[in-house]
Chains A and B, each alone.
Chain A
Amino acid sequence: MADNKEVDQISGTETTGHEWDGIKELNTPLPRWWLWTFYATCLWALAYWIVMPAWPLISSHTTGLIGYSSRAQLAKSVAEAREAQGAFLDRIEAASLEQIVADQELLEFAMAGGGSAFAVNCSQCHGSGAAGFVGYPNLNDDDWIWGGDLEAISHTIHFGIRSDHDETRFNEMPAYGRDELLTPEEINDVAEYVLSLSGSGEDAAAAARGEVTFAEQCSACHMESGEGDYELGAPNLTDAIWLYGGDKAAVVDTIANSRAGMMPAWTGRLDEATIKQLAIYVHSLGGGE
């Protein structure tokens, strides 16, 4: 090659000897800084293969001199995070719900921790904003079926509603229509009466007839006034909030076929500290009593 070097007349640069339609490729040397950078990256790559995990083997991979592992790194940072939370979690475990709420630092920790536990465990039914859906209570409002103070919320989370736990909250409303305990006309009258309790009924005469039936059939749980009872888990029928809908068809449906939503018991699935944080989070949403 050395003896048949061809030099381009115009630029004075050697050519590679490649030619396309009379156009010749100049053999321009690489810039020195570029070349040295290139050599440095080659060295870096070689060193990287040796120092870091790099090559796949049949059932594993080369581990590298310093034994780096991104999995171990993750485990380490998770452990560090646990460690950092540990002090708070210990205090939360030891304190009563009232004590936690009274301690601003613990309250903030519990609300944040409860919020993330809620997103993982509760939001599937209650919604990410805890606003619920038809049949799944809105936890932001001030209407509670089983009670809305810290203890009551904590109890509900622990044992659930109609769950498989022995201490579960449980009640049962008769299916007045399906089981033919009331005639359709009577059900219609009771529905009118129930709607009138919150001022939305239309048929005053039917409501007056329904009041008699209500007193006989419903007031044992829902109370004479219709305001319900936390102990029995009987909803307040006089307020503006309807779990299954507040129009007449929905109320008739409820009386005729009953309702029986369920919530799992979380004790045993979640640890005590998490349940406390959840109770405090739900209580802080705005309706806590």
Chain B
Amino acid sequence: MSVLVFLDQADGHIKKSSFEAASYAAKVAELTGTTAEAIVLGIVNDDLATLGNYGIKTVHTVAEAALNNMDAQVFTNILSQAVENTSADVIVFSNNTTAKAIAPRLSVKLKAGLVSGAVALPDTSNGFTVKKTVFSGKAFAHIAVSTAKKIIALNPNSYTIVPASGSAAIAPFAATIGTAKVEVVSVNKVTGEVPLSEADIVVSGGRGLKGPENWGLVTELADLLGAATACSRPVADIHWRPHHEHVGQTGLAIAPNLYIAIGISGAIQHLAGVNRSKVIVVINKDPEAPFFKAADYGIVGDAFEVMPKIIDAVKKLKGVA
């Protein structure tokens, strides 16, 4: 028995959300009286022994350059071999686009019930039940998994990392890799930006900002705070900002520690994508904006007057001239 966590990597580095998934896997292992192991595919430059600090005992590696790009079929086949090799009965992913491509396939291959979008540890008091978001963040469901093997895809920023001590053993895994049926023609990565799904702080703008030329108010604050930038649906629809920044019911659902909404009224569809944020700040000149009902802090005021003062105050706080 073991709990196996899939570590997602990009450009040779383990993704931040995978450390959260690793710590979660270690806790699941503790709850079920077993050990947590990890697997990473592709060439990784990080010191994998440090996964011990997240409670991982062994990191299995398949260091093949062919695995630097994810192919859902190839990855599923390798993971199913790793599940067999480690006798894993719980498999943990961080619920990102990689996991969404692989976990459903693995669920079928292993006949393992999948909970996608988990936000809490499993409840093992009566069977095996995992809490997940449903209705695009407007509610939660407790999903009972009835199969012997279980797969949990944990939403990013849902679990607080528990520091552990130790050094993880590194175990090269001789997997049969197989051939990808999908050919990757090109990869175009946005570099230098904080990925939205993993960001601790998100600064977001809506139609209240009146035009893309005013986005400096959003990006300057985001840069100061090391935050990702986001936008409301109308803003993406009229191409003021790229589609991948759209948060809400039909865009990305996020759960940062801090969400700052500037000039966004807070329609129910937008709230659905952001209401799991720990602290919500709303800046809007309309005191009747529905977003204030969902906010923790707010300023009723004109963003064009308020934002420069906020940016100055943050600069002062951060000691930036």
Decide whether A and B are members of one complex.
no
Residues of B within 8 A of A (CB): none
